[in-house]
Amino acid sequence: MTDFTRMSATELVALMARGEASSADIVTAHLDRIHHVEPTIHAFLHVADKALEQAGEVDRRRAAGETLPATAGLPFAVKDVLCTTDMPTTAGSKILEGYYPPYDATVVTKCRAAGLISLGKTNMDEFAMGSSTEHSGYGPTANPWDATRTPGGSGGGSAAAVAACEAPIALGSDTGGSIRQPSAFTGTVGFKPTYGGVSRYGVIALASSLDQVGPVARTVTDAALLQDIIAGHDPHDSTSIPTPWPSMVDAAVAAARNPSVKGLKVGRIKQLDTDGFQPSVRQRYHETLEMLSAEGAEIIDIDAPHFDYAVSAYYLILPAEASSNLAKFDSVRFGLRVTPEGGDATVEDVMAATREAGFGDEVKRRIILGTYALSAGYYDAYYGSAQKVRTLIQQDFTSAFRKVDVLATPAAPHTAFRLGEQLDDPLAMYANDMTTIPANLAGVPGLALPMGLDPENGLPIGLQLMAPAHGDRRLFEVGAAMEIFVNAAFGGPVWSRVPEVAAGGAK
- The one catalytic residue among 136, 178, 240, 323: 178
- Backbone Cα Rg of the chain: 22
The arithmetic mean of pLDDT across residues 232-256, rounded, is: 97
**pLDDT value for 401:** 98
Question: β-pairing, 169-173 with 213-217?
Answer: antiparallel
Which of 124-128, 245-249, 380-384 is the least confident region? Answer: 380-384
pTM of the full structure: 0.96
Q: Which residues of 282-296 are buried (b: 16+ CB within 10 A; e: fewer)?
A: bebbeebbebbeebe
Domain membership flag for residue 352: no
Domain membership flag for residue 423: yes
Domain membership flag for residue 331: no
The arithmetic mean of pLDDT across residues 124-143, rounded, is: 98
Question: β-pairing, 169-173 with 75-79?
Answer: parallel
Domain membership flag for residue 226: yes
Helix (H, G, I), strand (E, B) or coil at 298: strand
> For 314-369, what is each residue's pLDDT tens digit?
999 999 999 999 999 998 888 899 988 877 889 888 989 999 999 999 999 999 99
Helix (H, G, I), strand (E, B) or coil at 435: coil
Domain membership flag for residue 308: no
CA pair distance 370, 319, nearest whole angstrom:
4
Q: What is the mean pLDDT of the chain?
A: 96
Q: What is the CATH number of the domain that holds 110?
A: 3.90.1300.10
> For 33-69, what is each residue's pLDDT tens digit?
999 999 999 999 999 999 999 999 999 999 999 999 9
Residue 503 has pLDDT above 80, yes or no: no
**pLDDT value for 502:** 56
Residue 267 has pLDDT above 90, yes or no: yes
By residue count, the chain amounts to 507
Annotated catalytic residue 178: yes
CA pair distance 494, 159, nearest whole angstrom:
14
> For 367-390, what is each residue's pLDDT tens digit?
999 999 999 888 889 999 999 999
Strands (E), 154-206: 169-173, 189-192
- The one catalytic residue among 154, 158, 183, 240: 154
Question: β-pairing, 265-269 with 298-302?
Answer: parallel
Range of the domain at 86: 4-265+413-506
**80 neighbors 175 (Cβ within 8 angstroms):** no
- Cβ-count burial of 243 within 10 angstroms (0-12 exposed, 13-18 middle, 19+ buried)? exposed
Residue 506 has pLDDT above 50, yes or no: no
Number of domains the chain contains: 1
Residue 182 CA from chain centroid, whole number: 7
Question: How does DSSP assign 5-72, residue by residue?
Answer: GGS-HHHHHHHHHTTSS-HHHHHHHHHHHHHHHHHHH--EEEE-SSHHHHHHHHHHHHHTT----TTT
Domain membership flag for residue 188: yes
The arithmetic mean of pLDDT across residues 478-484, rounded, is: 98
- The one catalytic residue among 8, 23, 79, 121: 79
Residue 410 has pLDDT above 60, yes or no: yes
Closest among 282, 305, 483 to 397, alpha carbons compared: 305
